[in-house]
Structure 1
Amino acid sequence: MSLSTENIQFKATAEVAGRSRTARLDYASMAPLFVLVDVGLILALSVVISFAAAAEIGGGFEYTRPIGIGILAAVAFVLTTTSRGLYKPWRMVRIVEQASAAAVDWIFTILVVATVIFCLKVGDSTSRLDTGIFAVLGLAAMPASRWAMGSWFRHAIERGAVKGRASILIGDAVELDRVVPGNVLMRLGLHEVRRFSLATSGPEATTGLSAEDFDTLKSALQFARQQRIEEIVLAMPWTNLDRLDAVRSRLRALPVPVKLLPDDAVSEILDAPRVDFGPTIAIEVQRAPLSRLELLQKRALDITVASVAVTLLLPLLAAIALAVKLDSRGPVIFRQRRNGFGGREFTIYKFRSMTVMEDGGKVVQAKRNDKRVTRVGKFLRATSLDELPQVLNVLFGHMSIVGPRPHAIAHDDEYSKLIAGYAFRHHVKPGITGWAQVQGLRGETAELELMARRIEMDLWYINNWSIILDVKIILKTFIEVLRKDAY
């Protein structure tokens, strides 16, 4: 992810950069520190649980076995976490991701411990109760510890308490403005001491370096030698290779590493996952459909949420059905054909909120003060209660709780011709709510630009899907429904 578009924005400015001079913590020591905390916590859990159990039954405390189990669990957990790159400092501040990953790693760790106990045939001399308590408490303690460490590290950076390697930034003013000092520290472990801006206008800027640029680079090299700068970061457009090569040639006079940041044109592409491609790498610009494990996770969440919703909301569903029936003539449930996963057609269910049941080659979107909307329907649409019957679509497997909102087939045919990438929405099941909806894009899309914006949000969701993102959207949906009415 680019330094200028990091999801976690720190308060790091020139003020924070200045405070870093009094920093007490070395950035390079953060990963070993996190490892030590994990190892210490796991060992402490194992020993304390065994000691408490021994005190409870009044027996003697044998410390070798719990320490052995603790060491085994610590090694398995640390190796698993390290293999996933989760001890990297820039990932530690992603608190939700870290807590979720810690839970998964701990479950794997317990499986390893159980396997080793079975293979070594020491199960008879190992307390199943102690091991079970160790597993359960660890499942709570490891994510909590990771949450606490991530919060502490984030605040340490914001306070300027973390020290990185001294560095300078060189580049064009426009690209330099995109770089947040705190992100340079977080992502690269560098403390920004000073910036040097090259000229960005005039014919010289497009063909090479101007006289002013040469003076700037000379000053930068002199400053780097005097201040013992350990690294140089470049923020320049990638499209002008001649200009970039000229800058690199001048910087070879200084024996320090030089890093080139992604420019505005390529940063979004480089945010995508990278995969090995022979001796080089390839960028995954379109992710594959969800794996079987991911589909299983998503389906489990769907069934759980939909089942709970049906159980808890049954009285409300009955009351709404009665109100719809008494308010106007027509069926209680509105049915309409929609396109689902892979473009396969299904019938969506909603509480009827209008006097019409359009489902043909032309479907007119509801507008504000639309006369077709019934009295009860106006309230249902404003509160999104008309969408509740779609929990049945979720249970039947037609839809998901979270996903791109399905549109009428007539609208699908229309927008697929007007908006690039529209068909990619069908790479996942449609949802009752979605990323676009919690970003405020609910209701009518009378202008093509609004629909294009909604589709952009849908595509982002598909390319960045995670089970944590689904949970986040579900929680934000409640807030969005209260914040903005549809019609």
Structure 2
Amino acid sequence: MRESGIIKRHGDELIIAYRIMDIAFIITTILIASYLYTGVWNIHYVLATSIAVVSYSVLAELLGVYNPSLASSLRQTIAPILLAWLCAIGFVLVLGFGFKITDQFSRVALSCWFITTPIFLTSYRFISNKVRASARGDSYTQKSIVIGATPAGLALANEMATRPEHGLKLIGVFDDRSQERLSSESPQATISGSINDALEMAKERNFRHVYVALPMEASGRIKQIINHFSDSTARVYIVPDFFTYDLIQSRWRNVGNIPTLSIHDTPFYGMSTFVKRLEDIVVSALILLLISPVLFAVSLGVKLSSPGPIIFKQDRYGIDGKKIKVWKFRSMRVMDNGAEVKQATKGDPRVTKFGAFIRRTSLDELPQFVNVLQGRMSIVGPRPHAVSHNEEYRKIVDKYMLRHKVKPGITGWAQINGYRGETDTVDKMEKRVEYDLNYIRQWSLWLDIKIIFLTIFKGFVGKTAY
């Protein structure tokens, strides 16, 4: 009986080594600086070092410093390293002033630590890249070919040709289709020969790496090609054509020894979940404190404008499609929360005069900062729609329900790009969903900060907010 092999992850060793080395350099530099200048190492230095290590590690992870696809490029990681270290030092200083222990530190020692640490963090990576490049000195070990002028194959070939840090030298793309046929299908494709030509070259050891990038439906042909290349010493890789799917936060996950790939997933796992929740708590608490006079004034205005409660609670879909209660200042004389909810339109008679003002300026949504503290919503995310609207649009807008892979937000990528307020046509809703899904695909802490910043200038007032 033939046993199936185990698929192992590649590149984890380097990433683990970088994590360990980063922590070691952060600790070593403060140890050396404090001992050389003061000869003192007390609990305050231990506390400062611990804060710096934890905050730097979290931020470096979120900024992609340890992303396997970027870690081999100093050019792409130097800015995130410096930014993560700058923020880490900011945390140390803020907490030091907050607990009034800054007089326990040597300013010279801390200054040396602040300056020399990023120098070491970037320098050893530069040396590591040079050493690994030297180890790949034999040009044969770098020579690579791609089988299949598919979109995935051409993208891989372009990556090899334009990114030398991968350590792969592209020899050519091989395909059994003629150059004329390929030129009509993919004008950018340049073919170096047929697959049989590639096989003969492999037998003569003209290259070391073979990347098979044929469509997934050609499984029989892929197996045949792999069997042919087993008559050579070339290393053979399969390039799965996953990009035929619309990937949203795709990631590998092993179930035992069986690798699986998520197609539609949430960006919030592990540390990113913690950071997102911390961002929500800190920002919402600060905003609620600052706007408390506004909340009181709007509450009074709602109460005086028409009879009824000040706060209107409406059912919406939250993360994973679970129903949540979303709070708003009441802006209408009615409170629709049933199977049918009509969107507000221009001149809607249900909207009070004061309600029209708070809807136009988004003041009606301020109670949702309480929802954020409760954990039902987030500061940034797709805007929540009434349940009846969800049930309507999920049937006519492709991938509509994928918006619920994250918590709904008070503001979002769609809102700052002009898709706020009434969505009276399917086209408008499709554009809003498009922006929402792009936010989920590209999520980062810095994207959230950008959206919050832009919301201050153009996200609160809109012509389509009735």
With the shorter chain as reference, the TM-score category is: 0.5 to 0.7
Find the counterpart in structure 1 of residue 100 from structure 2: none
Question: Counterpart of 2:70 in 1: which secondary structure?
Answer: helix
In structure 1, distance between residues paired with 2:458 and 2:115: 30
Q: Tell me the CA shift for residue 357 of structure 1.
A: 4.6
SS in 2 for 1:172: coil
For the 8 Å contact 1:335–1:349, the answer to whether it is kept is yes
- The aligned counterpart of 1:346 is 325
Match of 2:379 among 401, 422, 425: 401
Q: Which residue of 2 aligns with 1:90?
A: 70
Comparing 390-399 with 129-138, which one deviates more in the overlay? 129-138
Q: CA deviation at 1:295?
A: 5.8
Q: Number of matched residues?
A: 402
Aligned to 2:188: none
Amino acid at match of 2:381: G
Matching of residues 76-475 of structure 1 within 5 Å: 86=66, 88=68, 90-91=70-71, 93=76, 165-172=142-149, 174-179=151-156, 181-182=158-159, 185=163, 188-199=166-177, 216-220=194-198, 228-252=206-230, 254-263=232-241, 265=243, 272-285=250-263, 297-317=275-295, 333=310, 335-341=312-318, 343-350=322-329, 352=331, 357-367=335-345, 380-381=358-359, 383-416=361-394, 429-438=407-416, 441-448=419-426, 450-451=428-429, 454-455=432-433, 470-471=448-449, 473-475=451-453
Q: Is the 8 A contact 1:170 1:198 kept in 2?
A: no
- For 1:4, the equivalent position in structure 2 comes to none
Distance 1:296 1:223, change over 3 A: closer
**Distance 1:455-1:198 versus aligned 2 partners, 3 A rule:** same
Whole-Å Cα distance in 2 between the matches of residues 195 and 278 of structure 1? 35
CA contact (8 A) 2:152 2:243 kept: no
**Superposition deviation, residue 236 in structure 1:** 1.9
CA contact (8 A) 2:365 2:410 kept: yes
From 42, 45, 52, the equivalent of 2:37 is 52
Matches of 1:191 and 1:482 in 2, distance apart? 51
- How far off its partner does 1:244 sit? 2.5
Distance 2:267 2:152 in 1: 35
The offset of 1:240, in angstroms, is: 0.9
Question: Which consecutive unaligned segments of at least 5 residues does structure 1 have?
Answer: 1-27, 107-127, 155-161, 204-212
Counterpart-to-counterpart distance in 2, 1:371 and 1:144: 64
Root mean square deviation of aligned Cα: 5.8
Letter in 2 for 1:337: Q
Quote the offset at 1:257 in angstroms. 1.6
Letter in 2 for 1:50: Y
Contact 1:324–1:377, Cα closer than 8 Å, also in 2: yes
Give the Cα–Cα distance (whole angstroms) in 1 for the partners of residues 461 and 119 of structure 2: 31
SS in 2 for 1:306: helix
Distance in 2, matches of 1:297 and 1:33, equals 22
Identity of aligned residues (%): 28
Q: Is 1:43 matched with 2:37?
A: no
Question: What are the within-5 Å matches in structure 2 for residues 62-77 of structure 1?
Answer: none
In the TM superposition, residue 190 of structure 1 has moved relative to its aligned partner by: 1.8
Normalized against structure 2, the TM-score is what?
Answer: 0.61
Deviation at 1:309, TM superposition (A): 0.8
- SS at structure 2 position matched to 1:233: strand
Partners of 2:303 and 2:238 in 1: CA distance: 65
The residue matched to 1:337 in structure 2 has which SS? strand
Kept in 2, the 8 Å contact 1:176–1:235? The answer is yes
Q: 1:101 to 1:243 in 2, by over 3 A?
A: farther
* Residues 382, 409 of structure 2: 8 Å contact kept: yes
Distance 1:406 1:247 in 2: 50
Structure 1 residues 350, 224: CA separation in 2 closer, same or farther (over 3 Å shift)? farther
Q: CA deviation digits over 1:449-475, x for unaligned, max 9?
A: 544564566567668876666545434
Tell me, in whole angstroms, the C-alpha distance in 2 between the residues paired with 1:243 and 1:339: 49
Q: Match of 1:86, SS?
A: coil
Whole-angstrom distance in 2 between the partners of 1:270 and 1:462:
7
Query: In 1, distance between residues paired with 2:176 and 2:272?
Result: 47
Cα gap change, 1:251/1:467 in structure 2, threshold over 3 Å: closer, same or farther?
same
> C-alpha separation between the residues in 2 aligned to 1:36 and 1:395?
37
Instruction: State the shift of 1:333 in Å.
Output: 4.6
Change (3 A) 1:415 1:356: same
